[in-house]
Amino acid sequence: MQIYQDKLTGEEWHFEDCVNVATLNSIPATLAASVVARPAGINRWDAVQGGWVPDVAAQLEENHKAALSRIEALEARQVRPLRELMLDASNTLAKNKLGQIDAEIAELREQLK
């Protein structure tokens, strides 16, 4: 299936191969010249410009959600090194692992500001 966007209205059109009823052969769908393919990524339709433009606010929100999700995953990974440190306070491997995790979390929190 192909999805295309009308330049003037912003309406999405979904095309699949269609069937010629007279011959029952599959023929590819044809599209008008006024149809623009939707670009990859987070975009919004701008009727004034007559095309797709990047949606900066939505991209920032998506990046924010991804950073929060990554922080949550990193915090879940802290459990084992913390347990190992509780059992043996001189465990340098666990200290290093916690330091790496904390550094990555701090970097992600800077991105959230």
For 27-35, which contacts have Cβ atoms below 8 Å and span 24 or more sequence positions? 29/2, 31/2, 31/4, 34/6, 34/7, 34/8, 35/4, 35/5, 35/6, 35/7
Q: Is the pTM here over 0.75, yes or no?
A: no
Q: What pLDDT score does 102 carry?
A: 97
Q: What is the pLDDT of residues 63-93, one digit of tens each?
A: 999 999 999 999 999 999 999 999 999 999 9
Low-confidence ranges of the chain (pLDDT < 70): 1-4, 13-36
Task: Check residue 94 and give its pLDDT.
Answer: 96
Domain boundaries, the chain: 2-54, 56-112
